[in-house]
Amino acid sequence: MQKTLGYAAHNNHSALVPFSFDRRELGAKDIQIEILFCGVCHSDIHQARNEWASSKYPMVPGHEIIGKVTAIGNAVIGFTVGDRVGVGCLVDSCRICSDCVDDLEQFCNTVTFAYNSADKISGGSTYGGYSAQIVVDHHFVLHVSDKLDPAAAAPLLCAGITTYSPLKHWQVGSGDKVGIVGLGGLGHMGVKFARAMGAQVVLFTTSANKIADAKRLGAHEVVISSDMQAMQQHLSSFDFILNTVAASHNLDSFTALLKRDGTLCLVGVPDHPHPSPAVGNLIYKRRQIAGSLIGGIKETQEMLDFCAEHNIVSDIEIIPIQQINQAYERMLRSDVKYRFVIDLASLNSA
């Protein structure tokens, strides 16, 4: 066992505090990674505060990890000490079920998440990236190009793949009109990807002060979602809408904007259910409401390579780990442009 320093939540209401815990020893197929940066996802807040009613404490959150390989097991291929690598939400799965065989490990019934999951190897709980180092099976470790700024690349490991994957699955491309709902960590990546894939991009926001930013990030048009007149102008015109909002809200004003056979894909996971959709909105034009969960390892590597090719990273604000609790409060006020990233070098400061 290797003593490792991190920051943990100990219950659903107290601040995260320094926490020392054990990482497993390096196994034959494992890679040990010194964590340099870790993004702060809204899922970290949902889980630290037990909003999904599945939290186990102590919990070390963090699943947007960028680091440097410090050791490799003797059965590891394709990595060497010193490589820049990433780890996202997934750290293990069964590898034999149909989801795993199809490179969709996120849907495996026995998937292990980076934190708050039973760790089948150590027997304890998994602890995430708000920490100094991590040991991960090499199948779940991603190569990250040196072309990308390492701090700004960290959010690609969750916010990036969670928006890239549905845009690819629903084959968004040139000639498509695509909506992104919510300009937060996921939403701003959705805008960048949809634009890079050639779509006509409309950003829906509740925050009037984000209009200029949304355009700078790649939106062709920005609509304040509470402005019913502006919403009406887009009725029945979208091929695809990706909804990243972290809170319960009425979906009907978005389903009404879809063309025949259009899809509203939900990736936000609010703690309370959305009010039921108006059935008329769906049956009238055979519209669909769908969901999507992060993405598999193969597609995450594809997304990282796409980012290196198109020079896409997240817009970030770097914080020392001592500011994580203030960062959570600011995220809840939508006061972040557009992802906090923890610099883990700060762990050793007083």
**Contact positions vs Zn ion (CB under 5 A):** 41, 43, 93-94, 97, 100, 108, 158
- The string over 49-78, giving b where at least 16 C-beta atoms fall within 10 Å of a residue's C-beta and e elsewhere, is bbbeeebeebbbbbbbbbbbbeebbeebee
By the rule CB under 6 A, 263 interacts with ligand NAP: no
By the rule CB under 6 A, 43 interacts with ligand NAP: yes
State how far the Cα of 37 lies from the Cα of 129, in Å rounded to an integer: 8
By the rule CB under 6 A, 313 interacts with ligand NAP: no
State how far the Cα of 335 lies from the Cα of 180, in Å rounded to an integer: 19
Q: Which is nearer to ligand NAP, 135 or 246 (CB)?
A: 246
Site for ligand NAP in 191-230 (CB under 6 A): 205-207, 210
| Interaxial angle between packed helices 185-196 and 159-169, expressed in degrees from 0 to 180 and rounded to the nearest 10 | 40
Choose the one of ligand NAP, Zn ion, none that binds residue 93, judging by a C-beta under 5 to 8 angstroms depending on kind.
Zn ion
By the rule CB under 6 A, 293 interacts with ligand NAP: yes
By the rule CB under 6 A, 334 interacts with ligand NAP: yes
Q: Which is nearer to ligand NAP, 5 or 293 (CB)?
A: 293
Which residues have CB under 8 Å from 245's CB, separation 6+? 181, 182, 268, 270
Q: How far is the CB of 92 from ligand NAP (least distance, A)?
A: 17
DSSP three-state, residue 260:
strand
Q: Which is nearer to Zn ion, 158 or 331 (CB)?
A: 158
State how far the Cα of 189 lies from the Cα of 79, in Å rounded to an integer: 28
Q: Which is nearer to Zn ion, 93 or 244 (CB)?
A: 93
By the rule CB under 6 A, 297 interacts with ligand NAP: no
State how far the Cα of 315 lies from the Cα of 296, in Å rounded to an integer: 24
By the rule CB under 6 A, 87 interacts with ligand NAP: no
By the rule CB under 6 A, 269 interacts with ligand NAP: yes
> ω into residue 270 within 30 of 0, thus cis?
no
349: left (phi over 0), alpha (psi -120 to 50) or beta: beta
Q: How far is the CB of 193 from ligand NAP (least distance, A)?
A: 13
DSSP three-state, residue 280:
helix
State how far the Cα of 23 lies from the Cα of 14, in Å rounded to an integer: 24
Which residues have CB under 8 Å from 301's CB, separation 6+? 142, 143
Q: Specify the stretch interacting with ligand NAP by CB under 6 A; choose among 36-44, 79-87, 253-261, 272-280.
A: 36-44
> Count of residues binding ligand NAP (CB under 6 A)?
31
Q: Please, are residues 192 and 307 in contact by the beta-carbon 8 Å criterion?
A: no
Single out the residue of 90, 245, 297, 313 in contact with ligand NAP (rule: CB under 6 A).
Answer: 245
Choose the one of Zn ion, ligand NAP, none that binds residue 100, judging by a C-beta under 5 to 8 angstroms depending on kind.
Zn ion
State how far the Cα of 303 lies from the Cα of 198, in Å rounded to an integer: 16
State how far the Cα of 301 lies from the Cα of 281, in Å rounded to an integer: 37
Q: How far is the CB of 88 from Zn ion (least distance, A)?
A: 8
Single out the residue of 167, 258, 294, 347 in contact with ligand NAP (rule: CB under 6 A).
Answer: 294
Choose the one of ligand NAP, Zn ion, none that binds residue 97, judging by a C-beta under 5 to 8 angstroms depending on kind.
Zn ion
Choose the one of ligand NAP, Zn ion, none that binds residue 108, judging by a C-beta under 5 to 8 angstroms depending on kind.
Zn ion
Q: Specify the stretch interacting with ligand NAP by CB under 6 A; choose among 11-19, 91-99, 244-252, 314-322.
A: 244-252
Q: What's phi and psi for 66, nearest 5 deg?
A: -120, 135
Q: How far is the CB of 16 from Zn ion (least distance, A)?
A: 16
By the rule CB under 6 A, 162 interacts with ligand NAP: yes
Interacting residues with ligand NAP (CB under 6 A): 41-43, 46, 158-159, 162, 182-187, 205-207, 210, 244-247, 249, 267-270, 292-294, 331, 334
